[in-house]
């Protein structure tokens, strides 16, 4: 999906396509494709993927919210994301959950499933940058789930080395 969006319709809109034909754009001899060097395009892809994730998250929450107990505070909901939702989506639980008890939650997954098969020839940093678009969808999913529990948040993710991934959830208060 991220690849499709990066090479698909929005590229034509911004006029950056067609330098050397759509299928082989940016492709090198090793089969490695670079991300487009266009912040505006990346921004559009981010907005799109995050919005799709948000809708998915809303539905996941309706479908898998526990029916035998009520989740009352934010920590309960975040734990539900770490345990139940991660189990459903990635077949494992989040490795580490940290919080400062003031509205910031950090979820760390040391073997994020979508990153397990990703690597690059030119070192970890380039591969981590290249993998960036793939964590925008789960960011949106987390935000969607929390939103349907009535918590508005901002979710950002980053990766230090590839199979590892960290999501930071920041609760937005309405003041």
Interface residue list for another protein (CB under 8 A): 55, 58-59, 61-63, 65-72, 148-150
Dist. CA 149–CA 161, nearest whole Å: 32
130 φ, ψ to 5°?
Answer: -65, -30
- Candidates 138, 137, 141; CA nearest to 59 is 141
Q: Which is nearer to another protein, 36 or 53 (CB)?
A: 53
CB of 85 to another protein, least distance (A): 13
Tokens of 98: 């940290």
CB of 63 to another protein, least distance (A): 6
Tokens of 10: 């929005």
On whether the CB atoms of residues 4 and 33 are closer than 8 A, the answer is: no
Q: Which is nearer to another protein, 72 or 91 (CB)?
A: 72
Q: Which is nearer to another protein, 19 or 67 (CB)?
A: 67
CB of 44 to another protein, least distance (A): 21
CB of 84 to another protein, least distance (A): 11
Q: Which is nearer to another protein, 36 or 140 (CB)?
A: 140
First-last CA distance in the chain: 36
Provide DSSP, 8-74: SHHHHHHT---SS-STTTTB-TTS-BPPPS-HHHHHHHHHHHHHHHHHHHHHHHHHHS-SSS---SH
Q: Which is nearer to another protein, 58 or 170 (CB)?
A: 58
CB of 140 to another protein, least distance (A): 15
């Amino acid at each position: 999906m991220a690849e499709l969006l990066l090479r698909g319709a929005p590229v034509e809109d911004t006029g950056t396509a067609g330098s050397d034909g759509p299928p082989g754009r940016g492709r090198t001899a090793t089969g490695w494709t670079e991300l487009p060097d266009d912040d505006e395009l990346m921004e559009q892809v981010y907005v799109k993927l995050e919005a799709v994730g948000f809708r998915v998250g809303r539905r996941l929450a309706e479908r898998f919210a526990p029916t035998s107990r009520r989740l009352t505070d934010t920590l309960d909901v975040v734990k539900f994301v770490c345990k139940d939702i991660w189990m459903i989506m990635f077949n494992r639980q989040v490795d580490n959950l940290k919080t400062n008890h003031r509205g910031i939650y950090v979820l760390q997954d040391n073997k994020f499933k979508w990153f397990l098969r990703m690597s690059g020839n030119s070192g970890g940093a380039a591969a981590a940058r290249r993998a960036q678009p793939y964590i925008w969808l789960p960011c949106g999913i987390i935000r969607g789930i929390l939103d349907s529990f009535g918590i508005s948040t901002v979710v950002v993710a980053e990766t230090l080395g590839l199979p590892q991934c960290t999501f930071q959830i920041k609760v937005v208060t309405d003041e």
